[in-house]
Structure 1
Amino acid sequence: MKHILLSAALLAATALTPAWAGQAPEAADTPDVAISHKDRVYAAEQFSNTVSVVDPVDNKTLGVIKLGDPSPGNFSPLYKGQVLVHGMGFSPDHKTLAVVSIGSNSVTFIDTATNAVKHVTYVGRSPHEAFFTPDGKEVWVTVRGENYIAVLDGQTYEEKSRITVPAGPGMQIFSPDGKYGYICSSFNPETDVVTVADHQIVARVKQDSPFCPNIAATPDGNQVWFTLKDVGKTEVFNAKPPFNLLTSIDTGPITNHVNIVHNANGTFAYVTIGGLNQVKVFKTSDFSQVATIPVGQLPHGIWPSGDGTRVYVGLENADAFAAIDTLTNKVIATIPIGQAPQAVVYVPNAVPEGDGLQNLTPLGLAGQSTHLALAPGGKAAGTAPTSVSLFDQGLVQVLQASATGLEPKHPYVLALSSRADGGGKLEPLASFMTNPAGAAIVNAIGPIRQVVQDDRKAERRYLVIAAGTAAEAGKPVQVQVQ
């Protein structure tokens, strides 16, 4: 009888304890979870305002969870949906997604088994990422447009407190043991280390630049890796006191996200380099680079499978996932998803029973876009330095250019020309300033596809990048590739 009571008590305790499993963001001693039809890969898609849902066994898109409408419908003052779906995290029991929408200042909580929205929490201006603490009791949301972390209750999803940090917190991740939260900044050159138990800042780590969009902790609890998008670097610091910087790596223009993979070959950091259309792979043991993987246009979010045999990369300017075999570091599949994928997560055992197809809709308009390239003289020798996507919104498109190969910290204008060589009078679309790596993400909106692909020669326009400003544009330095 005593043995039965003890077994019952152990079962009850197990049921109440969050069951972390798989790889990121787990501890090193957590058992791997083999890829199965119960797993799901998710992408937060900024211009279609959707979440794509993929079965990793078949590398098949099952559908999208629609959180909002395309432009210009979402400009209305009576609009109720979400705008700029961007960040993503998931709960320790793998039952809940937390999806951040920057434009509507919200965190949407989604049931992974049914794809149903179960709660929406509105926070401060321009939140960026949201992650559950390892014990599942809290959800920390970086409110990048302000100067704090919104701490939500992990069960009710209501805000219960705030952690004041330097303005512009970009993202946070936790040590695998749940002791520390690491919060990098997008506006200040500082990453803060905060104790989870009492929300106190216990260390400040200097960033080489102010713009950190992404951060990851190694499963052994020894290192924290973060990216610096403006200067094209990835830095690593000690995850434990004294939290000293370990290395700074020049990774390339528009360095986006980083994540950690452990497989039969060891432990590696995978970094997406948007301006090079590559993923670079580094050993965590000595920080040496071991692979460069071409993946497609503007790689952004990245997350490993539950057994570390794959990583999935969101291709922002290709509306696709690239699935990489981590033992060969080769792309094994390219999967169509929604528009401009940002954050990505892989959730093992997200759908423990059933087919998990409820509340999904087909890709439809979310899967429609036009892809162009710009290069000096309009001729791409190998890879064009600037990729352009025109994300279809119905009557108009959202244009996004991943511009590289330009002078650092210089003003430029994206414009239309009536000539294929880019000459003549220019019609400006957007002015921009390049970052210290000579790169920039440039956006515009309008019926642009209709004019850059017009069959009538007299009406057709060509995309160009010219030095200067909209008021005083110089000679084009990059022209649409024909």
Structure 2
Amino acid sequence: MQGPIMKPSPLRHAISLSLAWMLGATGIASVALAGQAPGPLNAPDVPISHRDRVYAAEQFSNTVSVTDPADNRLLGVIRLGDPAPGNLSPLYRGQLLVHGMGFSPDHRTLAIVSIGSNSVSFIDTATNAVKHVTYVGRSPHEAFYTPNGKEVWITVRGENYIAVLDAATFAETARIKVADGPGMQIFSPDGKYGYVCSSFNPETAVVSVADHKIVGRVKQESPFCPNIAATPDGKQVWFTLKDIGKTQVFEAQPPFRPIRTIETGPITNHVNFAHTAAGTLAYVTIGGLNQVKVFRTDDFSPVATIPVGSLPHGVWPSGDGSRIYVGLENADKLAVIDTATNQVVANVPVGQAPQAIAYVPNAVPDGDGTQGLQSPGLAGQSTQLKLLHLENGKPVVTDNAPTSVTLFDQGVLQVLQASATGLQPKHAYVLALASHADGTGSLEPLASFMTNPAGSAIVNAIGPIRQIVQDNATVEGRRYLVIAPSENGKPAAPVQVQAL
């Protein structure tokens, strides 16, 4: 259900511009409310307009949703692939597991990474048309253009290199070897360095863009970094550690000295920045708490904790820093945050399991920008459930976020994704179907998993699950989702049960 919609305030922009003019006229340094990531601090503000677009890469519907931020309205989706099980066919030609996203410095091209089909789809922002697909190595994760617009770097997470593409021809021209499992790269605003964190090794590499040579290494406190971002002033790099629930900060310039490690929370996903009247703020999505946490970048003090909805993932600022857009992976929505109040002011329905998102100012210079877009269809259909902790045989609501479960409709089947939280760290569990609502009776395992050091995990399964756990409410034989510890390869008594 779509939440309240608020338009950007023209008054805010008028005040900012007037103040900057007055200070400049009196010889005082002007106020700079500009420099939205990944651009430099001296980049001009771009007030929110109908020419801007917010894009989300949606993993289970294999779509890219397109939203007009001026009125927070979903315009449609770009369909890159089909739902399951059709996308498992050996003759399947579409994209699979649409996940990563970057955009060109001229804001005219999107680079969309699909993990399952090892591809990068290049999309024209004005027409929404796919103009080229480049296939790279095993399981690429993220892509981004160098600030000069000449190259596109893709982290090939299933291997040990960055694929470098020519931005004009889309052909691979070089490979930069790094540690196994490069997770994501981002560039310094001046285009001198590329920062590459790892999802499999505790090391972030700093690469010289000019010659593709590694010029620095930064120790990660864990091996699993999914996301990295550089501050617009070119002084800091922040990266997230999903498995241990922390965010690290290091100096963006040599010798790339570590500055701070911040405890952020289980399933820490992405980080990005907004330069506001209050200074430059870091927004970190915490999937296991269903929150976005906000920190200052000067002294790293906490500013706000914002409840946003189930499993926040990607995050990106508007071109003027007045809004932050957050993809809610288990809610199929974009949450819109007003950076002046750090409150959610709108929710926009999008496709299934949004991962990376990007706000692209002036993406559509002419026309309405709806060419080639389709209605969401199945991509807009899912079912949300929750699992609650069991205490003395009864489910209880605690202060901690419950385990969220989403059943993403694929037609007859659904892809299940659970954001499991509040469990023992590094412990084996089973997601199962129980014969009784209290978790008693026989258990039918759906998926086995191991929790990370923060006691969390992302768990997936596929099948006609909704028909069993929800649609058959009055039919004998209904089952109930539970999480149970795994002991000697068998499920023990459940510790979490489906909320009714």
Q: Is TM > 0.5 for Structure 1 vs Structure 2?
A: yes
Q: TM-score, normalised by structure 1?
A: 0.95
Are residues 1:287 and 2:293 paired? no
CA distance in 1, matches of 2:401, 2:208: 45
Per-residue CA deviations over 1:151-200 (Å, capped at 9, x if unaligned) read: 00011111000000000000000000000000000000000000000000
The one-letter amino acid of 2:356's match is A
Per-residue CA deviations over 1:48-90 (Å, capped at 9, x if unaligned) read: 0000000001100000000000000001000000000000000
CA distance in 2, matches of 1:455, 1:220: 56
The one-letter amino acid of 2:68's match is D
CA distance in 2, matches of 1:352, 1:22: 21
Residue of 219, 227, 230 corresponding to 2:240: 227
CA distance in 1, matches of 2:223, 2:290: 23
1:321, CA displacement in angstroms? 0.1
Residue of 402, 406, 416 corresponding to 2:419: 402
Alignment of 1:83-482 (within 5 A): 83-377=96-390, 378-381=395-398, 384-453=401-470, 454-468=472-486, 471-482=489-500
SS at match of 1:82: coil
The one-letter amino acid of 2:381's match is Q
Preserved CA contact (<8 Å) 1:303 1:313 = yes
1:22, CA displacement in angstroms? 6.0
The one-letter amino acid of 1:259's match is N
The one-letter amino acid of 2:84's match is S
Preserved CA contact (<8 Å) 2:35 2:42 = no
1:23, CA displacement in angstroms? 1.4
Preserved CA contact (<8 Å) 2:197 2:203 = yes
CA distance in 2, matches of 1:144, 1:405: 28
Distance 1:182 1:38, change over 3 A: same
CA distance in 2, matches of 1:381, 1:273: 18
SS at match of 2:379: helix
Residue of 67, 74, 89 corresponding to 1:76: 89
Distance 1:59 1:469, change over 3 A: farther
The one-letter amino acid of 1:467's match is P
The one-letter amino acid of 2:218's match is V
Q: Structure 1 vs Structure 2: percent identity of aligned residues?
A: 75
Per-residue CA deviations over 1:386-434 (Å, capped at 9, x if unaligned) read: 0000000000000000000000000000000010000111000000000
The one-letter amino acid of 2:72's match is N
Are residues 1:60 and 2:100 paired? no
SS at match of 1:276: coil
The one-letter amino acid of 1:440's match is A
CA distance in 2, matches of 1:36, 1:334: 18
Distance 1:469 1:35, change over 3 A: farther
Per-residue CA deviations over 1:193-212 (Å, capped at 9, x if unaligned) read: 00000000000000000000
The one-letter amino acid of 2:382's match is S
1:265, CA displacement in angstroms? 1.1
1:24, CA displacement in angstroms? 1.2
**What's 1:29 paired with?**
42
Preserved CA contact (<8 Å) 1:22 1:348 = no
CA distance in 1, matches of 2:423, 2:490: 18
The one-letter amino acid of 2:480's match is Y
1:456, CA displacement in angstroms? 2.7
1:381, CA displacement in angstroms? 3.8
CA distance in 2, matches of 1:353, 1:305: 19
1:376, CA displacement in angstroms? 1.3
CA distance in 2, matches of 1:99, 1:455: 40
CA distance in 2, matches of 1:106, 1:343: 15
Q: TM-score, normalised by structure 2?
A: 0.91
CA distance in 1, matches of 2:100, 2:307: 24
**What's 2:12 paired with?**
none
CA distance in 1, matches of 2:468, 2:397: 22
SS at match of 1:203: strand
Distance 1:470 1:32, change over 3 A: farther
CA distance in 1, matches of 2:248, 2:58: 27
SS at match of 1:452: helix
**What's 1:15 paired with?**
none
1:385, CA displacement in angstroms? 2.1
The one-letter amino acid of 2:224's match is F
Preserved CA contact (<8 Å) 1:88 1:130 = yes
CA distance in 2, matches of 1:91, 1:25: 11
RMSD: 1.0
CA distance in 2, matches of 1:446, 1:217: 41
Structure 2: runs of 5+ lacking an equivalent: 1-33
SS at match of 1:184: strand
Structure 1: runs of 5+ lacking an equivalent: 1-20
The one-letter amino acid of 2:492's match is G
The one-letter amino acid of 2:467's match is Q
Distance 1:272 1:470, change over 3 A: farther
Preserved CA contact (<8 Å) 1:431 1:470 = no
Distance 1:307 1:476, change over 3 A: same
SS at match of 2:40: coil
SS at match of 1:176: coil
The one-letter amino acid of 1:464's match is V
The one-letter amino acid of 1:67's match is L
Per-residue CA deviations over 1:93-121 (Å, capped at 9, x if unaligned) read: 00000000000000000000000000000
